Amino acid sequence: MKDTGNSTFIPYTRPWIDSEEMKHRTKEFYQLMDQRRTVRMFSDTPVSREVVENILLAASTAPSGAHKQPWTFCAISDSTMKAKIREAAEEEEFRNYHGRMSQRWLKDLEPFGTNWQKPFLEIAPWILVVFRRIFEWEGEQKVNNYYVQESVGLAAGMLLTAIHHAGLVSLTHTPSPMNFLTEILERPDNERPFLLIPIGYPAEDAQVPNIHRKSLEEIALFFE
Ligand code: IYR
């Protein structure tokens, strides 16, 4: 008998999917995901808290090191707080765009039309901030979480997928440094900001850069 330590196992119940159905599903899902775009032009149309809750629950189904789920999501719709976040993010970004980023980096960003101004932080109905929990307090003791970067990256990917599946758009925004989020959101000392993600409906006249995705040949190698 297999030694399962002190864990409890339960049957895995997802039904078997046959090969033809699988081809259909994977293609359909790829086509859905291929429509996902990072959008910087948002509508201020509200999105219900229930929708945001479902999206966060979906993100939190991500696998994580020793199932510690080392993430905290802050969902902000409060306009005073959004204004504070915008002000602090723009302050950092102003410095990034005026000296902290290399000429090469600025040139690479030209096709995306980004600059230090971040009006979407006030327009989008919700800003989600993902924090990674680097350790947990066990009484007086700090206990490290495992593979925090990988775990939170996976959760963030699933978060973006859930947002897209809902018919909403998002922008993965990484104002750097992001310490201001710890202060504004009053996060404890075991959390570090990971990503800032405004979400909402796209603006009616929203445009996105005309990018192309790498072909399968460029991203994958098969060893059969
Ligand atoms: N954080 C800045 C700059 C920026 C950097 C990369 I790499 C991008 O893909 C996009 C923007 C900003 O958000 O404007």
Is 60 exceeded by the pLDDT of residue 1? no
Mean pLDDT score, 55-62: 99
Q: What is the pLDDT of residues 5-18, one digit of tens each?
A: 778 999 999 999 99
- Check the CA dihedral 74-79-80-85 and report its sign: positive
Mean pLDDT score, 127-138: 98
Q: How many residues does the chain have?
A: 224
Measured in angstroms, how far is the CA atom of residue 43 from the centroid of ligand 1?
21
pTM: 0.95
Strands 126-133, 135-138: pairing kind: unpaired
Task: Quote the DSSP letter at residue 96.
Answer: I
Identify the residue whose C-alpha is closest to ligand 1 atom 9. Answer: 109
User: Pocket of ligand 1, candidates 114, 116, 176: which has the most ligand atoms within 8 Å of its Cβ, to mutate?
Assistant: 114
Is 70 exceeded by the pLDDT of residue 128? yes
Where helices occur in 35-170 by DSSP H, the ranges are 49-59, 79-95, 103-109, 120-123, 148-165
Q: Which atom of ligand 1 is found nearest the CA of 105?
A: 7
- Give the binding-site residues of ligand 1, using a 6 Å CB cut-off: 93, 96, 109, 112, 114, 173-176
Measured in angstroms, how far is the CA atom of residue 42 from the centroid of ligand 1?
17
Measured in angstroms, how far is the CA atom of residue 105 from the centroid of ligand 1?
9
Measured in angstroms, how far is the CA atom of residue 92 from the centroid of ligand 1?
12
186: left (phi over 0), alpha (psi -120 to 50) or beta: left
Q: Which atom of ligand 1 is found nearest the CA of 173?
A: 13
pLDDT at 215: 98
H/E segment holding residue 194: strand 191-200
pLDDT at 100: 94
Task: Quote the DSSP letter at residue 62.
Answer: S
Q: In this structure, are residues 124 and 199 in contact, taking their beta carbons and an 8 Å threshold?
A: yes
Measured in angstroms, how far is the CA atom of residue 140 from the centroid of ligand 1?
39
pLDDT at 4: 62
